[in-house]
Amino acid sequence: MTTLEQRPSVSTAIPGPSSSRLLERQAQRESSVRTYPRGLPIAIRRGVGSYVEDLDGNVFIDFLTGAGAMPLGHSHPELVEAVAKQLPVLTHGLDFPTEIRDEFIAAQLSMLPEGMRSRMRIEFCGPSGADAVDAALKLFKTATGRSDIIAFQGAFHGSSHAAMTVSGLVAQKERVAGRVPGVHFFPYPYPLRCALGGGAASGQRCLEYLEHSLRDPLGGVPLPAAVIVEMVQGEGGVIPASSDFVQGLRRVTRELEIPLIVDEVQTGGGRTGTWFAFEQHGIEPDAIVASKAIGGMGMPVAIVLHDERFDAFAPGAHTGTFRGNQLAFAAGVASARIMRRDGILDHVRDLGAYALGVLEGFARDHEIVGDVRGRGLMLGIELVDPSTGEPNTSAAGALQRCAIERGLIVELGGRGDCVVRLLPPLNVSRETLDQAFEILDSVLDELSPVASRNGHAPRSATI
Ligand SMILES: Cc1ncc(COP(=O)(O)O)c(C=O)c1O
């Protein structure tokens, strides 16, 4: 394969003619559920590092990176080699022990804080994040004999039946009858627009409300089987939970003997600058669900790490054909080794701090940027209507569109998809980040109402 130029270059309209052909065939033959190519209309030929090339030869910086499943970018040569080496040996092993599975388990356990390593068990389930969420909910219902679950507004835990039910996204679930019963939603700290009042005290208020509801004999919420929470709500708009909230949540759940599940499907594997994001709050959850990045290069694998006290499944109580993808194990082992060897977590923290500084500059310079936030290399830019402060869905859509036309792929999330989400590979270079920021800055300039008042109308979109 020829090398891919390490800078964005777009020489056709988006989509170009070859991409258009495949997009049309896709629209004719695939279900209407297809998602990403609607906002990002390209057909992909290949990916190398932080870049992808479409069928028309356009090169884009890829800050979607398989929705976070490509922690070391595309086609990392050592990961390709590790998978290629495993391919002729064994690809599928159900849940039989194999050497590479054993190495994968050792690698995952070794990444936990020391005090947790010996008491956590690892459960393999179906390979998606939603599978792991379902498995964890079922495990804690089994272990506690209770049936209710507490989740948070703004959460996203996946699209399977149970994972969808504990997610906040109303549009996804309101057309589905017979949802999993007994799910109670509580406000999640969101300084910009918290249901209980914004600002820095948002975490404290959310915690007090939750604690009061759980302790109140007339509070309406029976003792739940588990609380499930993200340390940074990703799809919800890149909203990091404050430490006072997370630590308080751990205290309350301990005092009331409610198992605490942290969903690290998106944050796990180094995305926020520590292997798991909960580490930054000094807590120890009862269970962690992880997927995405732990498969190294988009290889399918998901796990539930849980305290051995909750090892309640009888043999066969949660089976699944795809619990032993040996290629995912090989990629995951190699990826964890590279992360350690190359000091990737330090790199994520350093570049994350640098990136947040640049984004803060965007917030100062552009009125439509209502907030910027993130942890490590999980970053978000919330676009607002400057006159009302309300989510600015159309500006975010226009930004995504203008950015891809200039060679940058970004995802949207949050309320009304008003948050531009950046998920660069964890080994992204400063140079690539700067290329991306240059594109974002130029697009923000054009989208800003001030710029249009000065006669610079938005180039390819109305806001
Ligand atoms: C926090 C979180 N949990 C669960 C999921 C679901 O993962 P999957 O899409 O692999 O089912 C996602 C997906 O984005 C996620 O961000």
- Ligand 1 near 167 CB (within 6 A): no
Contact, 184 vs 224, CB < 8 A? yes
Please identify, by atom number, the ligand 1 atom nearest to the C-alpha of residue 234: 16
Q: How far is the CA of 235 from the centre of ligand 1 (A)?
A: 8
Q: What is the enclosing helix (H) or strand (E) of 417?
A: none
- 133 CB near ligand 1 (under 6 Å): yes
* 318-354 pLDDT, tens digit each: 999 999 999 999 999 999 999 999 999 999 999 999 9
**Which ligand 1 atom is nearest residue 133's CA?**
4
Q: Which atom of ligand 1 is nearest to the CA of 128?
A: 10
The predicted model gives 454-459 an average pLDDT of: 38
The confidence score (pLDDT) of residue 454 equals 35
pLDDT band at residue 462, thresholds of 50, 70 and 90? very low
382 lines ligand 1 (CB under 6 A): no
User: Of residues 312 and 460, which shows the higher confidence score?
Assistant: 312
Average pLDDT over residues 405-432: 98
pLDDT score for 6: 86
Please give the structure tokens belonging to residue 197. Answer: 């009042």
Q: What is the pLDDT of residues 57-101, one digit of tens each?
A: 999 999 999 999 999 999 999 999 999 999 999 999 999 999 999
Position 453 pLDDT exceeds 80: no
Q: Are 318 and 139 in contact (CB under 8 A)?
A: yes
Ligand 1 pocket member 421 (CB < 6 A): no
Which residue has 């350093």 as its token pair?
350
Given a contact cutoff of 8 angstroms between Cβ atoms, the answer to whether 249 and 227 are in contact is: yes
Residue 415's pLDDT is 96
Instruction: Please say whether the beta carbons of 232 and 375 come within 8 A.
Output: yes
The pLDDT of residue 74: 98
Pocket test for ligand 1, best of 131, 157, 325 (most atoms within 8 A of CB): 157
Of 111-115, 130-134, 191-195, 217-221, which gets the smallest average pLDDT? Answer: 191-195
Distance between Cα 266 and ligand 1 center (Å): 6
- CA–centroid distance, residue 219 to ligand 1 (Å): 31
Q: pLDDT at position 141, please?
A: 98
Give the per-residue pLDDT at 75: 97
**Model confidence pLDDT, tens digit, residues 1-20:** 457 878 999 999 999 999 99
The per-residue pLDDT for 2 is 56
Kindly state if the Cβ of 230 falls inside 6 Å of ligand 1. yes
Q: Is the CB of 130 under 6 A from ligand 1?
A: yes
Distance CA 321, CA 359 (A): 44
Q: Please give the number of the atom of ligand 1 that sits closest to the Cα of 302.
A: 10
For ligand 1, say whether the CB of 312 is within 6 Å of any of its atoms: no
pTM (whole model) above 0.85: yes
Residue 198 or 316, more confident? 316
Q: What's the rounded Cα separation, in Å, for the pair 278 and 267?
A: 9
**pLDDT score, position 463:** 39
pLDDT tens column, 240-296: 999 999 999 999 999 999 999 999 999 999 999 999 999 999 999 999 999 999 999
Q: What is the pLDDT of residue 455?
A: 38
If you average pLDDT over every residue of the chain, what do you get? 95
Enumerate the β-bridge partners of residue 228: 261
CA of 265 to the centre of ligand 1 (A): 6
Ligand 1 site, residue 265, Cβ cutoff 6 A = yes
Distance 208 CA to ligand 1 centre (A): 28
Condensed to tens digits (0 to 9), the pLDDT of residues 198-249 reads 798 999 999 999 999 999 999 999 999 999 999 999 999 999 999 999 999 9
pLDDT the model gives residue 451: 42
Q: What integer is the mean pLDDT of 28-41?
A: 97
Which residue's CA lies nearest to atom 8 of ligand 1? 129
Question: Is the pLDDT assigned to residue 450 strictly greater than 80?
Answer: no
Query: What pLDDT digit, counting tens, does each position of 295-314 carry?
Result: 999 999 999 999 999 999 99
Q: Best mutation site among 128, 137, 235, 265 for ligand 1, i.e. most ligand atoms within 8 A of its Cβ?
A: 265
Position 268 scores a pLDDT of: 98
The Cα 88–Cα 82 span in angstroms is 11
Residue 440 CB partners (closer than 8 Å, separation 6+): 362, 381, 399, 403, 408, 410, 420
- Under 8 Å between Cβ of 301 and 373: no
Pocket of ligand 1 contains residue 67 by CB under 6 Å: yes
